[in-house]
Structure 1
Amino acid sequence: MPVPGYPTRLAASAVARANLALTASATSRPLMPIGVDIDVLASAVVDEMERRQAAREEIERLAAELAPARAEIAAGMARCPGRLSP
């Protein structure tokens, strides 16, 4: 459903993000709260990115392991004369 004033939700989101970026760049105060250790925060972000990459790789590995079984099931369903159409 479109957002009033924008043709699509994507356009509204893009404008909102651009406005946030402009607002952030116009501020003279630091964007991070005082007392935040940037090095610790960066390390945590890198750790999370690595964890997500490992999860993606595991999903891809499991999908590859399941591919032959999925193909076999699909072939069996195609041979089944009384099957329901998808």
Structure 2
Amino acid sequence: RRRPDGLVDPDDTELVAVPAPEPADGEALVRTTYVGMDAAVRAWLDDQPGYLPPVQLGEVIRAAGIGEVIETRCDAYAVGDIVTT
């Protein structure tokens, strides 16, 4: 929604629920179970270049995560596999 000034406020962000997509050939659908939110995330919200570019307004905030494959059309992953970023 906007770039935070100081501490991040709930009004700075937005949680958006969307229907889960159907995986295409070669893809898997993953349910996120853990998301790492560390101090680097706050730095990415500023409009200042750093070791990674700033997150643009409206973009999904990047973060490390762990999830479980819940649907697959990919030979590399089976339903129930745990994956990480």
Coarse TM-score class (shorter-chain normalised): under 0.3
Higher RCO structure (Cα 8 Å, ≥6 apart): 2
Q: TM-score, normalised by structure 1?
A: 0.21
Higher helix share goes to which structure?
1
Q: TM-score, normalised by structure 2?
A: 0.21
